[in-house]
Amino acid sequence: MNRSIIRGLGFYVPENIVTNDDLSKIIETNDEWITERTGIKERRWVGDADDSTTSMGVKAALNAISDAEIDKNDIDFIVFATLSPDYYFPGPGVSVQKELELDTIGALDVRNQCSGFVYAISVADQYIKTGMYKNILVIGSEYQSGGLDKTTRGRGVSVIFGDGAGAAIVSASNNENETGGILSTHLHSQGMHAEELALLRPSTSHWVPQILKENDPNDISYYPYMNGNFVFKHAVTRFPQVIGEALQQNGYESTDISLLIPHQANLRIAQFIQRTMKLTDDQVFNNIQKYGNTTAASIPIAMAEAKQHGRINKGDLICLAAFGSGFTWASALIKWT
């Protein structure tokens, strides 16, 4: 069986910085509340820039291609994770194929929200291990700000989410003497909680013509809904479970982790995981303070930034873990090559 490695990483975030103080000018909130509850100080929102989920994904992808030192035409498959596709259909994978002018390679879209990137990495890993593909472009990209309720009514959700994209090139290792790469991935879901963190409409039970016909100014079902306390409680249980599962399968202890890169959902959640798993500050990477929660983009942005900051090096044991809407949760353990 082939070994899959992460050969390159890249990210892109819009230039427009929105601080907590900026938000307090448009909704009833303040820096103290947001910082204390979430750790977020600022986030990037597309704003007036000419960006989309696809264009940000493409910019992150070009950075990952350059980091991997491959030709873009060496990519033989695309996996794109997002909850904010540019179109209801088709998904953005095919738009990336077009924008990068790649030959008619396959493009797959993953709909697993905050766990989307880890699910996407798992898909890529299987294709590489079976020998079906050699270089897979995996993207997590989100343009969420346009769809948030930016009034006081929506403040429990809108202050948390940001825009941006991250990408990885997952490749077959061509070094037979080397061990490592993606060791295992672990995927879970619990659909009974699907509506606790969801964007319910438009849907098959409520198509756009019906929404337009009703024209109800109090209808908030086309804004994301989050039962924050409920999500928090499940997240702090599932994260340690799925990290533990990855460690156990590979015969490691939490002390062996060089760097845990958790989905940047909320700094309090990351700190809770750190305490539960008795990890040191050096073992956990957080950048939610600067970017907010960028859903499927958060892990690849964090991974790319961690690598840029010298926090990921050859031989390191890197753990990715995510939890979010679905509910879905997932982890990946990687011995960096």
**What amino acid positions are annotated as catalytic residues?**
114, 263, 293
Q: How open is the CA angle 140-145-10, to the nearest 5 degrees?
A: 30
Min. distance of Cβ 293 from ligand COA in angstroms?
6
232 makes contact with ligand COA (CB under 6 A)? yes
Find the binder of ligand COA among 229, 251, 310, 315 (CB under 6 A).
229
Nearer to ligand COA, 96 or 301 (CB): 301
Residues 6+ apart with CB under 8 A from 94: 107
Nearer to ligand COA, 235 or 297 (CB): 235
Token representation of residue 290: 């600067």
Nearer to ligand COA, 325 or 337 (CB): 325
Listed residue (328, 287, 289) closest to 304, CA to CA: 287
Listed residue (307, 312, 269, 316) closest to 288, CA to CA: 269
Find the binder of ligand COA among 156, 180, 202, 244 (CB under 6 A).
156
106 makes contact with ligand COA (CB under 6 A)? no
Stretch of 11-19, 30-38, 87-95, 123-131 contacting ligand COA, by CB under 6 A: 30-38
Backbone angles phi, psi at 61, to 5 degrees: -65, -40
Listed residue (191, 108, 168, 197) closest to 297, CA to CA: 168
Give the three-class secondary structure for 22.
helix
218 makes contact with ligand COA (CB under 6 A)? no
Min. distance of Cβ 203 from ligand COA in angstroms?
21
Give the integer Cα–Cα distance in Å for 290 and 156: 18
324 makes contact with ligand COA (CB under 6 A)? yes
Q: How far is CA 12 from CA 166, 231, 300, in A?
A: 6, 28, 10
Q: Which residue is nearest to ligand COA (CB)?
A: 228
Q: How far is CA 264 from CA 111, 178, 322, in A?
A: 18, 31, 8
Min. distance of Cβ 260 from ligand COA in angstroms?
16
Stretch of 132-140, 154-162, 174-182, 210-218 contacting ligand COA, by CB under 6 A: 154-162
For ligand COA, the binding residues (CB under 6 A) are: 29, 33-34, 37-38, 114, 155-156, 159, 226, 228-229, 231-232, 235, 265-266, 269, 293, 324
